[in-house]
């Protein structure tokens, strides 16, 4: 089976994991590295180069052209509106969905000095940092995980925030100064989940990857992505979400905030695990009614945010 993937260290580690777990053994499958718009523009602001699908579009096109059999994505990078001709074949068991702080001097988030510089390319992370610590400075930071760690070590900033799942998959979890609790920072919808994308009419491949699907992770991710879609979608909007499934129900928490940290909103709701999409859509309606709409409208029309 031909597995489409980005070429970063993290993407390759994730795709190797999928290769090793597919039916038939790793020797029956090979990775096909595809450069995406995001990879070709490693320092440009994501907002400037399009944002939506910036790490997935070219891989999806290769899948549609039958140049690969499956595509492996970080689910948080995949747009919520499904591309015609493609579908999700499996959502793998979730890694730690939380964000992690890595500081140069080993200082945790609450003890960073006033004026400390925190690096992240995410408006969601920026918003939650400034909502809790308006005395900090947030600077744009792109690149793969090793590049971001190198920039930190070079003294360009005091701390960076990255996905804990990425550190774990690269065997770098020891670099984390602190894994941020969700009361401090809600993750991106779908964070920590690997998605396998297939062609809609490919029944053979669908059957092969179905065994990799994790029902709990799929239910949580469905609730989070339905919420994001209900709020207008987009990987660049400052929206955090975390669904937790237990005992037949899902607790879904959401954060919507201005990139400068104010105003910001938090809420949560519960629903049956069998209807995760309904829960996400309903909570989105609630948030829009509570003031999320003008925040998100301003973000989408703004040019000044990195």
**Domain match, 277 and 130 both:** no
> Which residues make Cβ contacts (< 8 Å) with residue 202, sequence separation at least 6?
69
Q: Which of 149, 195, 147 is nearest to 39 (CA)?
A: 147
Instruction: Assess if residue 220 is contained within a domain.
Output: no
Helix (H, G, I), strand (E, B) or coil at 86: strand
Residue 297 annotated as catalytic: no
**Domain match, 40 and 71 both:** yes
Q: Which of 128, 122, 98, 121 is nearest to 257 (CA)?
A: 128
Q: Which of 22, 304, 112, 204 is nearest to 3 (CA)?
A: 22
**Domain match, 284 and 245 both:** yes
In the structure, what pLDDT confidence band is assigned to residue 158 with cuts at 50, 70 and 90? very high
**Domain match, 12 and 90 both:** yes
Q: What is the pTM of this model?
A: 0.93
pLDDT per position as a tens digit, 263-275: 999 999 999 999 9
Report the DSSP pairing between strands 239-246 and 249-257. antiparallel
Round to whole Å and give the CA distance between 89 and 105. Answer: 43
**Domain match, 10 and 90 both:** yes
Round to whole Å and give the CA distance between 5 and 73. Answer: 7
Round to whole Å and give the CA distance between 139 and 172. Answer: 23
**What HEC string does 222-275 produce?**
HHHHHHHHHCCCCCCCCEEEEEEEECCEEEEEEEEECCCCCCEEEEEEEEECCC
**Domain match, 129 and 242 both:** no
- Is residue 251 scored above 70 in pLDDT? yes
Instruction: Assess if residue 186 is contained within a domain.
Output: no
pLDDT per position as a tens digit, 172-215: 999 999 999 999 999 999 999 999 999 999 999 999 999 999 99
Annotated catalytic residue within 69, 77, 96, 99:
77
Q: How many structural domains does the chain have?
A: 3
Helix (H, G, I), strand (E, B) or coil at 199: strand
For 12, 114, 154, 185, 186, the CA distances from 129, given in Å and listed in that order, are 30, 13, 22, 8, 11
Instruction: Assess if residue 185 is contained within a domain.
Output: no
**Domain match, 90 and 202 both:** yes
Instruction: Assess if residue 294 is contained within a domain.
Output: yes
**Domain match, 84 and 198 both:** yes
In the structure, what pLDDT confidence band is assigned to residue 301 with cuts at 50, 70 and 90? confident
**Domain match, 60 and 119 both:** no
Q: Which of 147, 198, 223, 153 is nearest to 162 (CA)?
A: 147
**Domain match, 156 and 289 both:** no
How many helices (H) and strands (E) the chain has is answered by: 10, 13
Q: What is the extent of the structural domain holding 104? A: 99-179
Round to whole Å and give the CA distance between 143 and 120. Answer: 10
Model pLDDT, residue 40:
77
Instruction: Assess if residue 187 is contained within a domain.
Output: no
**Domain match, 112 and 68 both:** no
Lowest-pLDDT range, 123-132, 134-143, 293-302?
293-302
**Domain match, 175 and 244 both:** no
Report the DSSP pairing between strands 86-91 and 194-199. antiparallel
Instruction: Assess if residue 109 is contained within a domain.
Output: yes
Instruction: Assess if residue 184 is contained within a domain.
Output: no
- Provide the CATH number for the domain around residue 52: 3.40.190.10
Instruction: Assess if residue 26 is contained within a domain.
Output: yes
Q: What percent of the chain has pLDDT over 90?
A: 85
Q: Helices in the chain by DSSP H: which ranges?
A: 9-21, 37-40, 57-64, 123-132, 145-153, 164-169, 203-210, 215-230, 276-287, 293-301
pLDDT per position as a tens digit, 72-88: 999 999 999 999 999 99
Residue where a domain stops, chosen among 153, 179, 205:
179
């Amino acid at each position: 089976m031909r597995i489409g993937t980005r070429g970063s260290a993290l993407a390759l580690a994730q795709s190797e994991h999928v290769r090793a777990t597919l039916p038939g053994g790793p020797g029956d499958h090979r990775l096909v590295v595809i450069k995406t718009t995001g990879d070709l523009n490693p320092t440009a602001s994501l907002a400037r180069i399009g944002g939506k699908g910036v790490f997935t579009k070219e891989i999806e096109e290769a899948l549609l052209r039958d140049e690969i059999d499956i595509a492996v994505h970080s689910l948080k990078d995949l747009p919520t509106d499904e591309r015609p001709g493609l579908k999700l074949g499996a959502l793998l068991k979730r890694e730690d969905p939380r964000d992690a702080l890595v500081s140069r001097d080993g200082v945790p988030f609450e003890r960073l000095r006033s004026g400390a510089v925190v690096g992240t390319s995410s408006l969601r992370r920026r918003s939650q940092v400034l909502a809790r610590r308006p005395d900090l400075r947030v600077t744009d930071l792109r690149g793969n995980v090793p590049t971001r760690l190198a920039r930190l070590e070079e003294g360009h900033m005091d701390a960076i925030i990255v996905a804990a799942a990425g550190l774990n998959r690269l065997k770098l979890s020891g670099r984390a100064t602190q894994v941020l609790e969700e009361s401090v920072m809600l993750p991106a919808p779908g964070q920590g989940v690997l998605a396998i994308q297939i062609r809609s009419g490919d029944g053979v491949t669908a059957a092969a990857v179905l065994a990799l699907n994790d029902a709990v992770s799929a239910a949580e991710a469905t609730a989070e992505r339905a919420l994001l879609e209900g709020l207008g979608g987009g990987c660049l909007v400052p929206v955090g979400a975390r669904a937790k499934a237990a005992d037949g129900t899902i607790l879904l928490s959401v954060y919507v905030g201005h990139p400068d940290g104010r105003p910001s909103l938090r809420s949560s709701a519960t629903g049956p695990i069998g209807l995760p999409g309904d829960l996400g859509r309903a909570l989105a309606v609630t948030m829009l009614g509570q003031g999320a709409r003008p925040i998100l409208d301003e973000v989408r029309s703004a040019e000044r945010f990195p």
